[in-house]
Each structure stands twice: as structure tokens, then as C-alpha cells.
Amino acid sequence: MIRLALLILILALATGCPDRAGDQNAGARKVRITTAMPARQDVSLYEHTLGTVEDPRFATLSSELPAVVAEVLVDAGDPVKAGQLLLRLDDRDARARLDAAEADLQRLQALQQSQHRQVLRLRKLRPRQFVSQTQLDAAEAQLTALSESVDAARAALQQARHHLARTRIRAPFDGRVQRRFAAPGDFIGIGKPLLSVATSSRMHVTLPFPETLLGRIRAGQRVMLRLPGGDTLDTRIGEVAPAVSRRNAAFVARADLPEGSPLRPGGSVSASVELERHRDALVVPAAAVVLRPQGSVVYRIVDGRARQVPVTVGVHLDGLVEIVSGLNGDETLALDGAPYLTDGAPVDIMDGQERVAP
């Protein structure tokens, strides 16, 4: 009799579990949410920087070293191109320094190679006790010292080349020679003006960028300037300087200002450069995207329940997020209350669905 009662109880428990689970799911508390649908619009990726307004009507080219003017290749009124040689200083001292630096480097490299062969020979002899460890250590130390001397000689050669390059005065941009301050035979001190080159009468904004953006900042890109009064001004990048500053590892781009601009030379202005434009991109409200341990997800509402959908996000806008993959664009998504949802959770929609405004 006891065994029969136990068997009946076990059967009752086994058949009763699914019913209780179903009752529990059916009675789960609904999460109150609002909904929205994705929309499509053009999305732009911007890089922000603080620019300086400059008046480029002329630039004065000065000497970086004391020297005698050897040759002036242009005169006032001549048009010039960026990089064109305008004036040449006496370079005999600079060439002598360059020749000495090259000879010193070659001498040290020859000694380094000879010492390297000597070290290799001693290393082969050492296991057979033909040379002492002290001799080998001394040879290796001398090789290290010669290697350091070679590195220093290379640096000196680079400096000598730079010194020679400074005897050549070149045009920094396209323009026209406005004035000539020096003539052949004049002795020029450091900082003394040599030429002034005039360019466009239009002002421009100099925009600094980190060198990590080299190649992404290009001429023709759209620039939005925020004026002090709150207005905006659209322009485009006219040129990008090819050099990177050693002082701050940055390069500059220049955007022309239209005639009559309210900006004044020397002032600062906030600028946003459009790096990319994704046309007809899919966007959703930022509140619809939830960060889970496995990544970003949204919750699609199907038959009164939330279905978790992994998504890949792109550009973040003001209150919107670009969805690169994961959605088609016709889904109804949970908005307010989305962080409290799990996959399969029942929902209570508080109001009608709201389409994202493009």
C-alpha cells in the first residue's frame, strides 16, 4: 500500500510540473515600454577641432641662419608656386659640414664592421679556450661603443643635411612676390626678412589635427564653423599641409572664409570637419540600444513579447545611433524600458509606436 501511494505521488509530480511552468510564464509580470521604428537618413561622421582665423594676404620669409645671399631668383611681382626655389644663401660652409659628417659616418661604419668581424672570431675561439672571457667582453664592449658612435654620426649627418636645406628659401604656397628685402652679396642674420609673398586676399581658418588623421583629412571636405553668436558657417578645406609638427605631432588644414565673414584675424572658432557621409543609413533612438555582455542589442517586439536582436552600431548622433547590421528597418523596437527586458519577456506598450524622425 505504501509503495502504491509513493508511485501515485511521483506520477502526479511528473505530470504537474509542465502545467506549473506554463502557469508561471503566463503570469509573468509585463514590462511597460514605449516603442519606436528605425528610420533612414544621411549620417555624417565629424572630427571637431579649434581653429585660428588668419589673414594670409602676405607671408614674410626670413633666414634661419647667418649667411651671405648668393642668388635671388625672383623679384617683386613675380608669381610663384608652392615649393619653388626663390633665394639661395651661400652654402659652402653647410656643404663642408655635410661632407665632414658623411666622411665621419663612413669611417665609423667601417670600424664597426671590422669590430663586428673581430667579435665573431673571438666568439668562435672562446669555447676552445684560445681567448679569455675578458678579451671577448672587451671586444663586445668596443663594438657597442662603436654602434652608439655610428648612431650619433647618423644624427649629425641628418642635422648637416637640414642645415644645408635651410640655405634654400622656397615658396610656402602659391602666390606672388610682394617685396624683396635682400640682394646678392648681402649678409643676412638669423630672423632677417628676405622676401614677402602675397597670396589670396581672403582670410582662412587654420585647423590643427593629430597625425593619426593623416589621409582622412583632404581638400574639398565640408567644414562647419560655429560663430561666436551661435550661427554656423559652411566652407570647405582648401589645402592640407604635408608636414607634421615635431612639437605636438599635429598637422594643419586650411579652410577659406567667404568675403565679408564676421570673423577677425587672430580669433578662435570651433570647427567640425565631415570625414564621412553614410547616405540613407538606418538609425534608431539611442535609448533602444542596450549594451549586454555579448555586445549591443535591441529588442524587437513580436506578438507582445521582446525578442533580443544583436546589432552592430556605427556613428552616434544627437539622440540617435546608426545601425550597420542586424536590422532591416521595418521592426518595432522597445524604447523606454528596453534595459529591463530579456529575450522572450512579455511587454505592455504604454502608447503607440513612434517612428524615428529623419
74: CATH: 2.40.50.100
> Residue 179: CB partners within 8 Å, gap ≥ 6?
76, 195, 196
> Residue 343: CB partners within 8 Å, gap ≥ 6?
306, 307, 308
104 and 150 inside one domain:
yes
- Is there a domain that residue 52 lies in? no
Phi, psi dihedrals of residue 129, rounded to the nearest 5° = 65, 25
CA dihedral 103, 106, 110, 115 (to 10 degrees): 100
Domain of 294, in residue numbers: 27-43+279-355
- Is there a domain that residue 115 lies in? yes
Question: Domain ends where: 165, 183, 207?
Answer: 165
80 and 146 inside one domain:
no
158 and 180 inside one domain:
no
Task: Look at residue 203 in the predicted model and tell me its pLDDT.
Answer: 79
- Is there a domain that residue 272 lies in? no
191 and 301 inside one domain:
no
Phi-psi region of 206 (alpha: psi -120 to 50; beta: other; left: phi over 0): beta
171 and 126 inside one domain:
no
Q: In the chain, what is the greatest distance between 2 CA atoms, to the nearest angstrom?
A: 129
37 and 139 inside one domain:
no
112 and 65 inside one domain:
no
Whole-number Å distance between alpha carbons of 35 and 296: 18
107: CATH: 1.10.287.470
To which residue does cell 564676421 refer?
Answer: 262
- Tally the domains of the chain: 3
End-to-end CA gap in the chain: 75
- Is there a domain that residue 231 lies in? no
Q: Please name which of 260, 249, 270 lies closest in space to residue 205, comparing C-alpha atoms.
A: 270
156 and 175 inside one domain:
no
Whole-number Å distance between alpha carbons of 307 and 356: 20
Amino acid 228 reads P
Identify the sign of the CA torsion 167, 168, 172, 176.
Answer: positive
Task: Look at residue 57 in the predicted model and tell me its pLDDT.
Answer: 67
153: cell is: 654620426
- Is there a domain that residue 302 lies in? yes
- Is there a domain that residue 274 lies in? no
**pTM for this entry:** 0.46
Q: What is the DSSP string of 19-85?
A: HHHHHHHHTPPPEEE-EEE-EEEEEEEEEEEEEEEE--SEEEEE-SS-EEEEEE---TT-EE-TT-E
- Is there a domain that residue 266 lies in? no
66 and 195 inside one domain:
yes
Task: Look at residue 283 in the predicted model and tell me its pLDDT.
Answer: 95
> For every one of its 358 residues, what pLDDT tens digit does the chain have, with 9 covering 90 and above?
445 444 444 444 444 443 343 344 455 689 999 999 999 999 988 899 999 988 766 788 999 899 999 999 999 888 899 899 999 999 999 999 999 999 999 999 999 999 999 999 989 888 888 888 999 899 999 999 999 999 999 999 999 999 899 999 999 888 888 789 999 999 999 989 999 887 755 778 999 999 888 888 999 999 999 987 778 899 999 889 877 877 788 899 999 888 777 887 778 899 999 998 899 999 999 999 999 999 999 999 999 999 999 999 998 888 899 999 999 999 999 999 999 999 999 999 986 555 554 5
Number of residues assigned to the chain: 358
Sheet strands (E) in 76-186: 79-80, 85-89, 168-170, 175-180
Question: Are the beta carbons of 341 and 292 closer than 8 angstroms?
Answer: no
Amino acid 202 reads R
> Residue 29: CB partners within 8 Å, gap ≥ 6?
346
